[in-house]
Amino acid sequence: MSDRVRLTVFGVSLAGLLALLVWGLAGLPDFGDFQGAYGQLLNRVAVPERSTTDVVTAVNFDYRGFDTLGEEFILFAAVIGVASILRTLRGERIRRPDDDAAGRHVPETSLLVRVTGLGLVAPTILVGIYIVAHGHQTPGGGFQGGVILATALLLIYLSADYMTMRAVGPTWLIELAEGLGAAGFALIGVGGLVFGTAFFENFLGKGTPGELPSAGTIPLSNTAVGLAVTGGFVFMLSEFLQQALTHRRVHHHRRGGARRAS
């Protein structure tokens, strides 16, 4: 299909889609004038009922905990998906990690990047743990904090090298975090069945709203999800890094030119 035909077909479809979008959006409540019954109810009852000052977290990890379990396992499935798509293929071999793409020389990491990167590792971990631990009080939680924690390992790669990153976060540790987190979150749900009456029912003491140990199972759920998300993201990042650094085809592309010495 030529570019002109492609753009014409696209233009017509886009006009149709935009018309439908505008039509759909026109039926929505006016901006700033939403009267969601559930939201208003939750804003009223979440703090006294669950001792959670962050209502979004109360929704995610308590009122709608079952749904968040599914969300957590979407991430889990994606991690498995990335791992199986990026498996070592036939005709590929693993070699020593090498920070350069074919025909490209990558300069040494500068001292400034090293110092800044390594200096940021500890604060990043601290912020990550803080965001996970205070998810039931202020905006944050396992998903957000987990991504921040995974960044810490990426900073180690940025300022040192791949092998150092693998030494700090070896595969067994990453897989353990991912597995423990995902299983832990599901078990907290089962705990509601065992000690209470329903899946994901809060079965621990609720404490005083605003204190760090409060809100029953919600901080535990956040910790489990934080572990799983950290593990999942680090796992996916190292899969991609492996593709760039250690996987090489033994045979070359036809247009690839001369065989490169490795």
Partner 1 sequence: MSFLPYAVAVWIVGVGLYGIVTSRDLVHLVICLSVMQSASYLVLLSIGYVKDASAPVFADVPGGTRAVDPVVQALTLTDVVVGTTVTALLLALSVQAHKRYGTLDPRRLRPGRATRRHG
Query: For binding to partner 1 (CB under 8 A), which residues are involved?
Result: 6-7, 10, 14, 17-18, 21-22, 25, 28-34, 36, 38-40, 42-44, 46-48, 53-56, 58-60, 64, 67-68, 71, 74-75, 77-78, 81-82, 85-86, 89, 91, 137-139, 143, 209-210, 236, 239-240, 243, 249, 251-256
CB of 119 to partner 1, least distance (A): 27
CB of 78 to partner 1, least distance (A): 3
Nearest residue (CB) to partner 1, 29 versus 107: 29
Specify the long-range contacts of residues 194-200, CB closer than 8 Å, at least 24 apart: 199/65, 199/66, 200/62, 200/65, 200/66, 200/69
CB of 75 to partner 1, least distance (A): 6
Nearest residue (CB) to partner 1, 75 versus 121: 75
Cα-flanking dihedrals φ and ψ of residue 132, to 5°?
-65, -45
Instruction: Report how far residue 142's alpha carbon sits from residue 184's, in angstroms, rounded to the nearest whole number.
Output: 13
Q: What DSSP assignment string belongs to 84-130? A: HHTSPPTTEEE----S--TT-PPPPPPHHHHHHHHHHHHHHHHHHHH
Nearest residue (CB) to partner 1, 7 versus 163: 7
Instruction: Report how far residue 229's alpha carbon sits from residue 221's, in angstroms, rounded to the nearest whole number.
Output: 12
Please check whether residue 218 is in contact with residue 137, taking contact to mean a CB–CB distance below 8 angstroms. Answer: no
Nearest residue (CB) to partner 1, 115 versus 244: 244
Instruction: Report how far residue 69's alpha carbon sits from residue 60's, in angstroms, rounded to the nearest whole number.
Output: 9
CB of 17 to partner 1, least distance (A): 8
Nearest residue (CB) to partner 1, 89 versus 106: 89
C-alpha to C-alpha distances, 227 to 2, 50, 140, 243, nearest whole angstrom: 49, 23, 14, 24
CB of 111 to partner 1, least distance (A): 30
CB of 61 to partner 1, least distance (A): 9
Task: Report which DSSP code applies to 62.
Answer: I
Nearest residue (CB) to partner 1, 78 versus 173: 78
